[in-house]
Amino acid sequence: MANPEFEVTAVADGDAQRLDKAHRQCPSAVALGSAEELIARDDVEAVVIATPVATHFPLACNALDAGKHVLVEKPMCATIEEGEELIELAASKGVTLMVDHTYLFTGAVQMLRGLCQSGEIGRISYYDSMRVNLGLFQPDVNVMWDLAPHDLSIMDYLLDEEPVDLEVSGYCHVNPGVPDITYLTLHFPSDMVAHFNLSWMSPVKVRRTAIGGSEKMVVWDDLNPEEKVKIYSSGIEFQPEEERRQIMPGYRIGDVLSPRVSQLEALQGVVSHFAAVIGGRETSIMDGERGLRVVRILERAQKVLDQRLPEIADLRDGRV
C-alpha cells in the first residue's frame, strides 16, 4: 500500500498486539494507543479507518470534524442517518470522504463497467450473485452486512440505479439474531431484478456474478484465475409488449469470449484514487454518496429481516 503521495505518520490501535503488528509494517510512524490521539495530531492530514462497523461513524465524525480526509472501510456506517451526517460533515469541512469499496478497482469490475456502460450487453434484465464460503463469523455483523457491501457497491457502480422494493430472508444457524445465510432480491425501476445468495455455511467458496443483457450475458467468476470474465453472445429477443404474449421468444446461442482481464492492484488503485481525489485531480467513484446508497439498501433489508425472522421462528415453533 506504499504510495509516493502519502507518508504514514502515525498508526493507532487500542489493542497493544495489533498496534505492534501495524507498527512493524510502518516502523517510521508513531504508534498510538487511541484513535483520538491520532486524529488530534497536526501532522495527520488524512485518516484511514479500518475498525468494526459500529465504530466507523464516531471515528469518521471525529476525523472529519478535525478537518482530516477520511477513507473508511466498507460498509461506510451502520445506518442511513449516520451516512447522511458524514456526507454533510465532509461537505461542510471541505474534505474528502471515501469508502474503501476495493473491488471497484479490480480489472474485472472495470471491464464489467465498460460492458454495462457502453451498451455492449444491451438492456440489463438481471444481476445474480452468489457469494458463499465457510465463513469467518464476524462478531459484530451478520452475513449480509459482511458480504453484501461488495456486491451492492459493485452493482451500484455498474448500473447506477436504486431499487424500488426488496425481499430478504435467511436463517441464523449459529448465533441467534445473526443470520449466517441470507437471500436478498432487489427490484429496480428498469427491467432488472437482482439477487444475492450470501452464506457463511458453504464448504465450497463461490464468487460468481451473472449479468444478463438483451444483447449479451456476462459471468464473472472471481475465483477462476484464467478466465475471470466470460461474455456470452447469447440473448433473448425482447419483443414489444403487445406482441409478447403470442409467441415463444427466440434464443441466440453464440460464442463465448474471455477477454484478458488486467491484473490491477486494487488496493493500490484505491490509495492512488484517494490521493487524486484529495488533490482534486479525480472525481471519486467511491464517495460518501455511493457508500450511503449501499447502506440504504442494507438498512432497508435489515428492517425486513428484523420483522420476518421472528415471524418465521414463531411459525416454526408452532406459536402462530
**In this structure, is the dihedral angle defined by the CA atoms of residues 140, 141, 143 and 149, taken in order, positive or negative?**
negative
315 CA to centre of own chain = 33
Q: What is the DSSP string of 76-138?
A: --SSHHHHHHHHHHHHHHT--EEEE-GGGGSHHHHHHHHHHHTTTT-SEEEEEEEEEEE----
Q: Using the rule CB under 8 A, which residue among 4, 17, 118, 253 binds a second copy?
A: 253
Residues 123-182 close enough to bind a second copy by CB under 8 A: 125-126, 128, 130, 134, 137, 139, 164-165, 167, 169-171, 173-176, 181
Q: Report the residue number, 62 or 182, with the smaller CB distance to a second copy.
A: 182
- The residue range among 44-52, 100-108, 109-117, 210-218 that interacts with a second copy, by the rule CB under 8 A, is 210-218
Taken in order 149, 150, 152, 156, the sign of the CA dihedral is positive
The contacts of residue 271 (CB under 8 Å, 6+ apart) are 1, 3, 6
**For a second copy, which residue of 29, 236, 267, 276 counts as binding (CB under 8 A)?**
236
Q: Is 2 in the site for a second copy (CB under 8 A)?
A: no
User: CA-to-CA distance for 228 and 134, rounded, in angstroms?
Assistant: 22
DSSP 8-state code for residue 72: E
What is the smallest separation between the CB atom of 312 and a second copy, expressed in angstroms? 5
Question: What residues make contact with a second copy under the rule CB under 8 A?
Answer: 125-126, 128, 130, 134, 137, 139, 164-165, 167, 169-171, 173-176, 181, 183, 185, 187-189, 191, 193, 195, 197, 199, 201-205, 210, 212, 217, 219, 223, 225-227, 232-234, 236, 238-239, 241, 244-245, 248-249, 251, 253-260, 308, 311-312, 315-316, 318
